[in-house]
Structure 1
Amino acid sequence: MNENFKNEVHKGLSSNPKSLPSKYFYDKKGDALFVEIMNLPEYYLTRSELEIFQNKTQELIDSIGVQTDSYFELIELGAGDGTKTKELLRELDKQNYNFDYFPIDISSNALKLLEQDLNTQIPNLRVQTRQGDYFEVLASLKNSKQPKVVLFLGSNIGNMQDQMAFKFIYNLGANLQPGDKILLGVDLIKAKEIVLPAYNDKKGITAKFNLNLLDRINKELGANFNLNHFEHQPEYTEKEGIAKSCIVSTTNQTVEINATGNSYTFAEGEKIHTEISRKYNDQLIENIIANTNFSIQTKILDSKAYFADYILKRD
């Protein structure tokens, strides 16, 4: 049994308001559902950043400031299926850059599939997968003292509250040397009509993805959530710039979880907060990286200016 999973579920469901960590979305079924989400017409985020990686690949390479005759480590946090990164990897390989690619992910299944895919598509690429916590892996890589470029794409930083995002960037800096870079992909603040459908698609795939978290608790922790008594509910206000995902109880009910030895009561309409997706602008990024020893070098936009890849340099 995953003790961290058990403990964090108990803590989240015992709190008021209730919450569950979004990192536990990603079991084997969750991985597959998220791949479906990324291909949905409403989910502009992946397409927007993929456009940058496809159409502005050379600009990305120039911005991260690597040289063909100098070795560097390309480290990706939360690599997933690597769809966007492959565009960059192909071009770096084509131009004979000297580097190793270190994909880091919490999902060993995602890493295994990614490595198999890369071995087929880019056979000359040196891939060193690392499964586990970002900072534990980074700490193990820190001793190499080699120049590093860290990719943190997909607006994954948007899943954190601003103070947590600041700490995250600060901790990244603690594992990097002056001159190292972060390529930070973020979703930009936009109208509700564009953002909200990305988290509430017509096919209901996002709802299945969110509710799969309860199914995972059932399977791994011996709970008795009835998924028919819960609904997916997304929220977004342009002024706040934060999209939220919740699971809402549709009735008064009690759920038991064998692993924790506890029962948890839910009122009709009560929410379990599962995820935030922060949207950004230049000022918000500046606020988050203040006092982190990073500075913005440049930013690269997609054609609709929905999404930005910021290049941050460790001072």
Structure 2
Amino acid sequence: MIELSRKLDGSNDTETFARDVAEGLSQHQKTLPSRYFYDAAGSRLFQEIMALPEYYLTRCEFKVLTENRQEIARHFAKDSFFHLIDLGAGDALKTKILLRELDRQQSSFDYVPVDISGDAMRQLSSSLQQEMPAVRVQAVVGEYFPALEWLHENKPERKVVLFLGSNIGNFKPDEGRNFLKTICSYLNPGDKLLLGVDLRKDPDTILSAYNDTSGVTAEFNLNLLRRINAELGGEFDIAQFQHYPIYNPQEGVMRSFLVSRKEQEVYIRDTGRTFHFDAWEAIHTENSHKYSMQQVEELGKACGFRVETLFQDVACRFADVLFTVT
């Protein structure tokens, strides 16, 4: 059964988008929020990225979930109904591994994918209706916290939250702690969180994953400027910007930038402003933090969770950590 969709937007409307862009480009060190990567074109490009040979993250997590799906499903079910809440669901390629296993085990649950992309939620709901018609789906279009607040107020049953794909790495450390603390605040003792975490490894392996030889990641980053042009009346000359990634192994953080190839002025209609770029000035677009397992355990403890169990690939490149609310 598909129930599409409850819309809790407020984050990707034009007015908010324009305000966030103006704020980011007005800073001394320019930034653009990474959440705006995912329009329809951005979502398609990210699916291409996940299939790239350099992008190990998806393959590692796919393997972890596939090899441990029966045990993960048993941890989730516990013989009682629960809401399976998938934050940033996208196409749910990896989540479907668990959905099929939960369906096979005849677990009592419903699936609540949450994403700011309405296109992604419509496509996901349609595919699930075809692939797993017995699974009840209620897709939510909007930001994570309004969705969790709505579920907390209206759905008293047990909850299992998924935050897969190492998305926690996109936050700064203090932001990541605040994010997990907020998630915990909407859960009850015994509720669970399955958190995907990219682990520290050979820096060259990490850098290659964000700078593939075919240039798909560069197009994904540049698409943020195309979206500003299309939706906000921006006048970015895409050819005059380049993708630039860098990994700091001491901090364990991968950073992505868009660099202006020349001195230029860019007008953006919906901000009512023109923004100046020096030659080789950078716009910071994304962080991706890599963790040690000690950092993961300490992060969970600081946010009100304890580690229930840990699932990793053989090479220990990626982990899906199952936390329980204490």
Q: What is the TM-score normalised by the length of structure 1?
A: 0.97
Among residues 200, 204, 220, which one is paired with 2:231 in the alignment?
220
Among residues 37, 42, 46, which one is paired with 1:30 in the alignment?
42
2:246 maps to: 235
How far apart, in 2, do the equivalents of 1:57 and 1:291 lie?
28
2:261 maps to: 250
1:267 maps to: 278
Structure 2 residue 149 is matched with structure 1 residue 139: yes
* Deviation digits for residues 77-117 of structure 1 (CA, Å, limit 9, x no counterpart): 00010111111100110110010000000001011111111
1:76 maps to: 86
Q: How far off its partner does 1:14 sit? A: 0.3
1:291 maps to: 302
Among residues 182, 185, 188, which one is paired with 2:196 in the alignment?
185
- Equivalent residue of 1:129, what SS? strand
1:307 maps to amino acid:
F
1:292 maps to amino acid:
C
* Deviation digits for residues 180-217 of structure 1 (CA, Å, limit 9, x no counterpart): 00000010011111101110111100000000000111
How far apart, in 2, do the equivalents of 1:222 and 1:104 lie?
28
1:160 maps to: 171
**Paired residues, what number?**
313
CA RMSD, aligned part only? 1.1
How far apart, in 1, do the equivalents of 2:210 and 2:216 lie?
9
Among residues 110, 115, 130, which one is paired with 1:120 in the alignment?
130
How far apart, in 1, do the equivalents of 2:268 and 2:161 lie?
39
How far apart, in 2, do the equivalents of 1:139 and 1:154 lie?
23
- Equivalent residue of 1:79, what SS? coil
Identity %: 47
2:283 maps to amino acid:
I
Q: How far off its partner does 1:60 sit? A: 1.6
Alpha carbons of structure 1 residues 111 and 65: separation in structure 2 relative to 1, 3 Å: closer
Q: How far off its partner does 1:288 sit? A: 2.4
Structure 2 residue 144 is matched with structure 1 residue 151: no
1:61 maps to amino acid:
A
How far apart, in 2, do the equivalents of 1:30 and 1:245 lie?
15
* Deviation digits for residues 288-309 of structure 1 (CA, Å, limit 9, x no counterpart): 2343211112211012211000
2:62 maps to amino acid:
L
Which ranges of structure 1 fall in alignment gaps of 5 or more residues? none
How far apart, in 2, do the equivalents of 1:94 and 1:174 lie?
32
Among residues 3, 8, 12, which one is paired with 2:24 in the alignment?
12
* Deviation digits for residues 124-170 of structure 1 (CA, Å, limit 9, x no counterpart): 11111111011111111113221110000000010000100000010
* Deviation digits for residues 260-281 of structure 1 (CA, Å, limit 9, x no counterpart): 1111111111110000000011
- Equivalent residue of 1:141, what SS? helix
2:315 maps to: 304
Kindly report structure 1 stretches of 4+ aligned residues shifted beyond 6 Å.
Answer: none
* Deviation digits for residues 45-66 of structure 1 (CA, Å, limit 9, x no counterpart): 011000011111112223x342
Structure 2 residue 128 is matched with structure 1 residue 96: no
Q: Is the 8 A contact 2:244 2:258 kept in 1?
A: yes
- Equivalent residue of 1:289, what SS? helix
2:287 maps to: 276
- Equivalent residue of 1:287, what SS? helix
Which ranges of structure 2 fall in alignment gaps of 5 or more residues? 1-12
| Bigger shift: residues 53-62 or 243-252 | 53-62
Q: Is the 8 A contact 1:163 1:288 kept in 2?
A: no
Q: Is the 8 A contact 1:145 1:177 kept in 2?
A: no
Q: How far off its partner does 1:286 sit? A: 3.0
2:247 maps to amino acid:
Y
How far apart, in 1, do the equivalents of 2:301 and 2:194 lie?
17
Q: Is the 8 A contact 1:162 1:288 kept in 2?
A: no
1:199 maps to: 210
* Deviation digits for residues 16-61 of structure 1 (CA, Å, limit 9, x no counterpart): 1100000000111001101100111111101100001111111222
